[in-house]
Amino acid sequence: MTAKPLLFLAALLPFAWLLWGALTQNLGPNPAEALIRSTGDWTLRFLCLVLAVTPLRVMSRTPALARLRRMLGLFVYFYAVLHMLCYAWLDMEFVVADIVRDIVKRPFILVGFLSLVLLTALAATSFNRAIRFLGARRWQWLHRLVYLVAGLAVLHFFWMRAGKNDFAEVAVYGAILAVLLAWRVLHAWRQRHASVRPRAAT
């Protein structure tokens, strides 16, 4: 199947685009802001994508889609790390004391930082040996934290936009993630109430 390498390249396109823009000074009048915001946007977009894999797989009866999930999940982490690096570099100039003060002082930074810590735990346990080591059940429990990450990420975005009372985009991401989560709850509930048959992995 060639979908995976193609998707890999496609997922790198936003990064390539931003890198190209930064090198050729093509990111508009405020390139630092553009980089910080777009890496954040892309983190949210990949989060929506990765959470859409399972619903799509089940509804379209395409088990092969499962093969794409881990890679997309790691891209969420990739863009989240880029987002953090852009903030730490361009906004904070890597002054650790300033960053720590910022995390403590500003709830929206704290929430963003928390989601990154959680994502790190998920990324660090994403390879096969980690799954074997933790056991499928515990691993799955751990990786359900991605919903918490999604909630925190939307809260982070919400707070960032709160000052401008501008929630249109926040609402779009919030709605997509809410629908995806609702589907899962519904799906799990149906399976529990269906007659005794082997449960499909969620």
Partner 1 sequence: MIFHNRNHAFDHAVRSEITPRQTYLDRRGLIRAMAGGVAGAALATWATRDAMAQSAARPGKLAALPGARSAVAGAVTMEKRTDYKDASTYNNFYEFGTDKSDPAEKAHTLKTTPWAIEIEGLVKKPQKIALEDLLKLATQEERIYRLRCVEGWSMVIPWVGYSLSQLINKVEPLGSAKYVEFITLADPRTMPGVGSRVLDWPYVEGLRLDEALHPLTLLSFGMYGEALPNQNGAPVRLVVPWKYGFKSGKSLVKIRFTEKQPATAWNRAAASEYGFFSNVNPEVDHPRWSQATERRIGEDGLFAKKRTTLMFNGYEPQVGQLYAGMDLRKFY
The residues that touch partner 1, with contacts defined as CB under 8 A, are 22, 25, 27-33, 35, 89-91, 93, 98, 102, 105-106, 108, 159-160, 162-166
| Nearer to partner 1 among residue 110 and residue 179 (C-beta) | 110
Element housing 90 (H / E): none
Q: Kindly list the distances between the CA atom of residue 1 and the CA atoms of 54, 64, 72, in Å, as whole numbers in the listed order.
A: 18, 9, 16
Tokens of 166: 């501008």
Helix ranges (H only) for 61-167 are 69-86, 96-105, 107-124, 128-134, 136-143, 145-162
Positive or negative, the Cα torsion across 36, 120, 69, 180? negative
CB of 90 to partner 1, least distance (A): 7
Instruction: Kindly tell me which of 90 and 123 has the beta carbon lying closer to partner 1.
Output: 90
Q: Report in angstroms how near the CB of residue 156 gets to partner 1 at its nearest.
A: 11
Taking the complex as a whole, how short is the minimal distance between the CB of residue 136 and partner 1, in angstroms? 41
Tokens of residue 174, six digits: 């919030």
Name the residue nearer to partner 1 (CB basis): 22 or 81. Answer: 22
Question: Judged by CB, which is closer to partner 1: 29, or 198?
Answer: 29
- The least distance separating partner 1 from the CB of residue 87, rounded to whole angstroms, comes to 11
Here the tokens at position 71 are 């890679």
Q: Which is nearer to partner 1, 33 or 147 (CB)?
A: 33
User: Would you state the structure tokens that stand for residue 7, as one six-digit string?
Assistant: 């998707």
Q: Which residue has the tokens 């000074």?
A: 25
For the bound state, the minimum distance from the C-beta of residue 30 to partner 1, rounded and expressed in Å, comes to 6
Closer by beta carbon to partner 1, 25 or else 60? 25
Whether residue 39 contacts residue 89, with contact meaning beta carbons closer than 8 Å, is answered with: no
Least distance in angstroms from the C-beta of 99 to partner 1: 11
Cα distance between residue 102 and residue 106, in whole Å = 6
